[in-house]
Amino acid sequence: MTDNGKYQLLLAEDDELLASLLVYRLEKSGYAVHMVHDGKKVKEYLQEQTPDMIISDIMMPYFSGIELIDHVRNVLKLDVPVIILSSAGNEQNVLSAFDLGANDFISKPVSPSELVVRVERELKKR
Amino acid sequence: MPSIQMTPEWLGKLTLIFVILSGLYFLFIFIIRNRHTRMSAAFAERKKVLGPMISTFLFYEDDATRSEKTDYVGLKLEIRQLLKDQFNRKVLVEIFLDLKKDISGEANLVLSQLYRNLGLHLYAFDALKSRRWVKISTGIQELNELHVEEGYGFIKPFINHRRGIIRKQAQLAIVSLKHEGICYFLDSNKYPISEWQQLKLMDVLRNLKDFQPPRFRRWLTSKNKYVVLFALRLLKHYKQNDANASLIELVKHRNDQIKTEAIDCIREFCVFDALDIMKAVFWKYSPEIKILLLDTIANLGTEKDIPFLKNVENKEISFIVKSKAISAINQILPGTILPTIGIEAHEPYCGELPLSSNDRNNTEAEINGDTDKVIPETANGQVALNAEEEVFAPEIGLTGYPVSVEGPLPYTYGWEELLDTETDDEVIFDLCLMEELEDILAQKESSEEEEAGVGILPLDFLPVVTEAEQPIEEYLWSHSLPLSILELETACEIVSEEENFSMELNRILQSIGSPSEEEVLTALKPGPSTEKYIAGEPGLSANTQSGGNESGAIHDSVQLPTDGIRAEEEKTPPSDVCDSDNDTADIIFHLEPLNGSAMAGSSPRPQEAPTTTQRDYGMQSIFYDFFRNADEESKLILLDEVFAVGDSKDLCFLDSLEGDASRKVRIKAARIRVNLPKKWAGESGTDSQSPAFRSAFGRTGGKNGRLINGIVIRPETLFKNLQPLEYCFLDINGSFHDAGECRSNTPIKSSPNASGTNQQQMD
C-alpha cells in the first residue's frame, strides 16, 4: 500500500506502448503502478520495495517472467500475487509459471478491462 | 585491343579512385544509418508522447468529470494540430497498428473508431491514389487492419492490380472488410491465386464474425481455374454438398488439381452417382488420379463394382494401382483376395494332443469329468478338436489350457507334420505344453489310483488285498469245509518274513518270561471266534483262536484253554473291569463284558458294534488322520510318537490298529497299548490314580485284574513284569545287551505246550 491508500502494483512489460496503456488503465482504476521494461530493473525494484502485486510479461530482456516468479518465490520468499501476461500458444511457459507459483494468467492481446478485473479479484483474495 | 601499361603511376591512380569510392560508400551508409537511427529515436520519443494521448482517448468515458472533459477536448485539439505533420501521422498510425495487435476487447473497437475520428483513414485513401506501390500497399493495409469499411470501394479495383503485392493486399482487405467481399473477389479475380494466398483468405473468412458463406458452387463454372479450385476447397471446407452434378462433371476436368479436389469432394460428400463416370474416365487418367478414383470407389462402391476392380487388377500395369484395386476389392468385400505370395504350404491345423488315442480319450474324459463323452477321431487317428469348446482343468493346475474340445476344425495338422516345422515357435510351444500336460496327467492318474487302493506299477509285486480279513473258522463255516483240515500236521510251512520275525520275537519273549506276541495281540483283540463259540461251536473257536489273522499264511492250530478261562471269567464280574463312568475304558474293554455275558449265556451283542465304537473313539486320536494315508514305515514311526506323547484317547486308537493290514504295525501297536499305561504310571508315580491308568483299568484301579481271552492281567503285575519296548530289539538269541539292568525281577511264567498254546497268568 502506498501512503495514499492505493495498492502498489509492479508492471513488468518490455513493450512500452502497451505498458503505458495498461498503466494508464490501472491508474485510472485507482492503483499505483510502477512500470519497468526489463528484468534487471524488476530485480532492482524488488530489492528496494515489495509491491502488493506483480504483473509481468513472460518474454522480457535479461530476466524472463518465469525467472522473476522463481526469484520472488524462492529467493525473496515473497507471497505476492503474480499475474502473467503471455502471448497465445505459449502454454508450456504458462504451465511452468503456475508450477512456480503464479496466481493468474492473461493471454495477449490483452483486454485492459479484463486485467483490471483480475487484479481486483487477486487483491480481494488477500 | 589497347594494351594497359601497368606502370606504378597508373596503379596509384586506380588505388586512389578505389579508396575514394569506398569512402563515399561508407559515408553513404553512415549517413543513411544515422538518419535511420535518428528517425527511430524520434519515432520512439514521439510514441512516448502520443502513446499516453491515445490511451487517454481510448479510456475516456462519458461520465468523466469536468476537468477530465476539459483535458480530453484540449488533447483532441492538440492531436489534430499534430496530425498536420506527416511524421506525427506516421507515428500515430504506427501506434494504432501496434495497439491493434496488443489489445483486445472493447478497447480494440474503440481504437478503430478513434482512428476514423482522428481522420487518419482519409490519409490512407489518399495513399491509395499514389503512384508508388509501397504507399498503396501501406494504405490498403491500414484500412484493412483498422477495419475501415469505407475503404472497401477504394480497394476493390486493386484486386486485379498488375503488381502482385498490391493485389494480394487488396484481396485480403476486400474479403475482410465486408462479407460480400469474397463473392466480389471470386467473381472478378482474373489472376492466379497462390496456395498461400488461398490459405490466408480462408483464414480471414474463418475469423469473420457472423459470416454466412455463399453457395460456392456458383464459382465451379468460373473461367478462372484457380477460382474453381478455390471454390472446390471452400465447398469442402464449408461442407456444401449441393453441387453433386458439378462435381461429377469436374471429374472430367483437364486440370489434375481440379480433378483431385472434385474427387475428394465426391468422396467427402458420398456422391454415389459419380461412380459410373469415375469408372468411365478411369483408364484415361494418370496413376495418381487412378489411385484417388480407386480409393473413392472403395469407399462408395458396392459388389457391382467388383468386376470393374478385378478388371483393373488384371489389366493395370502399374503395381501401385493394381494393389490399390485389390485393396478396394477387399474393402468392399473383406477377405475376397488373400495373400498368396510368400505363403508356405501347410496342412490344416487340428490342434491334436501328442497322446495315444487311448490316453487322449482317458485323460480328456477324466479332466472333463465326463467319461461317457467320446472324443471323435479323424481317419488318421487324430483327435478332432473344436476350438470353441474349451474345457479347463482347475484341479491339476491347468487353468486356462484348453484340453478337451470337440468337432473338427477347418484346418488339421498332423503331429508329425508339426514336428517338421521346427522353426515355428508356436509349434515348439505346443510341444512343450503337451509334454508337461502328459506328465501332469500321468501324475494325477497315479495319485488317484493310489488313493483308490488299486495297485499300480510300483506296487504291483505286492499282494492285492481287496476284502476284509476273514477268520479261517468263518471261512470254513461258511464254505462247509471239514474241520479236520485244521488238525492236519504241517509238513512244510511257508513262513513269510513277518511271521519269521514274529516267531523269533515270541521265542525271545518266552526265553525272558514275557507274554508272547500272540498273547498280547490276543489279549487286545475281540476275536469273532468268541461269538462262534457262544453259538455252540466251542471246539472251533478254541482251535482257531489265533488262526486266520494273517491272510496267506498257514499256522499251526492253536488251542486255548477255554475251560479255565471260562472259570476265571465267571469269577470276575464285568463291572469290575469296565468302569461305566469312563467311556474310554468302557470302549477299550468292551471285550470282557461281552465275553462275560457270553459265558453267562445271555444273548450275544452284534459283532460289529464294539468294533465300530472302538473305531469312532479311535478317530478322536490326533494320530488317526496321520495313519490314514501313511505307509507301513510311517506307521511304525508314528507308533513311536504315540508312545511318546499318547494319551487315553490313543489307547482306543491303538486298539483300532488291531485290524491293520501290516503285521508289524499290529504287533507294535499292541505292545505300545500295553506299555503306554505303564509309562504313565511311572511318570505319575501313583499307578492307580493316573487318568491313563484309570482309563486302562477302570475306576477300581483294576484290583481284580482283567480277564483278556483267558488271561487275568492285573495292572501292578503287568507293569511290573512287562519289559519296555527295547526288548523288541534283543539279540536273536534272546540275550540282553545288558541283562543285569533290564531283566525283570519276576519273570512271567510261560508254559508252552506241545501244540504251542500259551497259558500265562501273571502273579
Closest Cβ opposite residue B102 in set A15, A28, A113: A15
Higher per-residue pLDDT: B88 or B714: B88
E strand or H helix at B684, and its extent? helix B663-684
- Residue B680, pLDDT above cutoff 80: no
Distance from the A124 Cα atom to the nearest Cα atom in chain B, whole angstroms: 24
**Mean pLDDT highest for which of A20-34, B324-338, B372-386, B593-607?**
A20-34
For the record, the C-alpha cell of B444 comes out as 494325477
Read off the pLDDT of residues B22-69 as tens digits, 9 standing for 90 and up. Answer: 999 999 999 999 999 999 999 889 988 888 889 888 888 877 788 888
* DSSP helix/strand/coil, B495: coil
Q: What contacts B441, CB < 8 A, 6 or more positions away?
A: B359, B363, B366, B367, B396
Long-range contacts of A92-101 (CB under 8 A, 24+ apart): A93/A58, A93/A65, A93/A66, A94/A58, A96/A66, A97/A58, A97/A65, A97/A66, A97/A69, A100/A66, A100/A69, A100/A70, A100/A73, A101/A69, A101/A72, A101/A73
State chain A's mean pLDDT as an integer. 90
* DSSP helix/strand/coil, B348: coil
Q: Is some CB atom of chain B closer than 8 A to the CB atom of A88? A: no
Give the model's pLDDT for residue B273.
93
Read off the pLDDT of residues B169-186 as tens digits, 9 standing for 90 and up. Answer: 999 999 999 999 999 999
- Contact residues on chain B for A28, CB-CB shorter than 8 A: 59
Name the nearest CA neighbour of B643 among B631, B657, B663, B629: B657
Q: What confidence tier does B509 reach under pLDDT thresholds 50, 70, 90?
A: low
Higher per-residue pLDDT: B632 or B215: B215
C-alpha B94/C-alpha B42 separation (Å) is 13
C-alpha B628/C-alpha B240 separation (Å) is 88
Closest Cβ opposite residue A111 in set B48, B99, B107: B107
Distance from the A83 Cα atom to the nearest Cα atom in chain B, whole angstroms: 17
Name the nearest CA neighbour of B590 among B548, B651, B542, B643: B651
- Contact residues on chain B for A113, CB-CB shorter than 8 A: 105-107
Give the model's pLDDT for residue B501.
67
Read off the pLDDT of residues B212-248 as tens digits, 9 standing for 90 and up. Answer: 999 999 999 999 999 999 999 999 999 999 999 999 9
What residues of chain B have any CB closer than 8 angstroms to a CB in chain A?
A: 44, 47-48, 51-52, 54-56, 58-59, 95, 98-99, 101-108
Q: Which residues pair with A57 in a beta bridge?
A: A85
| Residue B299 CA to its chain's centroid (Å) | 39
A87-101, B252-266, B591-605: the lowest-pLDDT one: B591-605
C-alpha B395/C-alpha B403 separation (Å) is 13
State chain B's mean pLDDT as an integer. 70
**Sheet bearing A53-57, strands edge to edge:** A32-36, A8-12, A53-57, A82-87, A104-108
- Residue A63, pLDDT above cutoff 70: yes
Give the model's pLDDT for residue B747.
39
Give the model's pLDDT for residue B655.
82
CA distances for A42 relative to A2, A19, A95, B282, angstroms? 18, 14, 22, 70
C-alpha B523/C-alpha B525 separation (Å) is 6
Give the model's pLDDT for residue A71.
92
Closest Cβ opposite residue B59 in set A25, A108, A114: A25
Residue carrying the nine cell digits 459388389 = B303
Global pTM?
Answer: 0.51
Give the model's pLDDT for residue B261.
95
Q: Over range A64-83, report the average pLDDT.
A: 91
Distance from the B95 Cα atom to the nearest Cα atom in chain A, whole angstroms: 8
- Contact residues on chain B for A15, CB-CB shorter than 8 A: 98, 102
Q: Give the number of A-B residue pairs with CB atoms closer than 8 Å.
A: 56
| Percent of chain B whose pLDDT exceeds 70 | 56
Read off the pLDDT of residues B249-306 as tens digits, 9 standing for 90 and up. Answer: 999 999 999 999 999 999 999 999 999 999 999 999 999 999 999 999 999 999 899 9
- Residue B345, pLDDT above cutoff 90: no
Q: Over range B451-461, report the average pLDDT.
A: 50
- Contact residues on chain A for B102, CB-CB shorter than 8 A: 15, 17-18, 21, 108-110
